[in-house]
Amino acid sequence: DTGVSQDPRHKITKRGQNVTFRCDPISEHNRLYWYRQTLGQGPEFLTYFQNEAQLEKSRLLSDRFSAERPKGSFSTLEIQRTEQGDSAMYLCASSSRNMNTEAFFGQGTRLTVV
């Protein structure tokens, strides 16, 4: 399967712990996006990369959230000092460099903070 891959699929963590999620985009895609989705809502944009450059991060929910894409391939999203309100589905998507082309999503990482 050459689609967008996310790991882990599910994560349960205690409040206050740090968590890190990984996303492997479609190999020829140089744009990578992170979204958060809560129950019953549409995905909410967090940040995106073009190659290794993080071009938009003002939508990250707080300074506890950070993302990296060091080699322009896979990306990680880290949440520090997790809170119960961070419980959500975290989605990764990738697209080609063309402005108006579809973004393909991974299956997401479901985070539960207890």
Partner 1 sequence: GESVGLHLPTLSVQEGDNSIINCAYSNSASDYFIWYKQESGKGPQFIIDIRSNMDKRQGQRVTVLLNKTVKHLSLQIAATQPGDSAVYFCAEKDNAGNMLTFGGGTRLMVKP
Binding interface with partner 1 (CB under 8 A) = 4, 6, 33, 40-45, 48, 55-56, 59, 91, 93, 99-100, 102-108, 110
What's the closest the beta carbon of residue 16 comes to partner 1, in angstroms? 27
Residue 19 or 33 with smaller CB distance to partner 1: 33
Q: What are phi and psi of 85, to 5 degrees?
A: -70, -10
Min dist CB 94 to partner 1, Å, is 12
* Distance (Å, whole) CA 82 – CA 101: 34
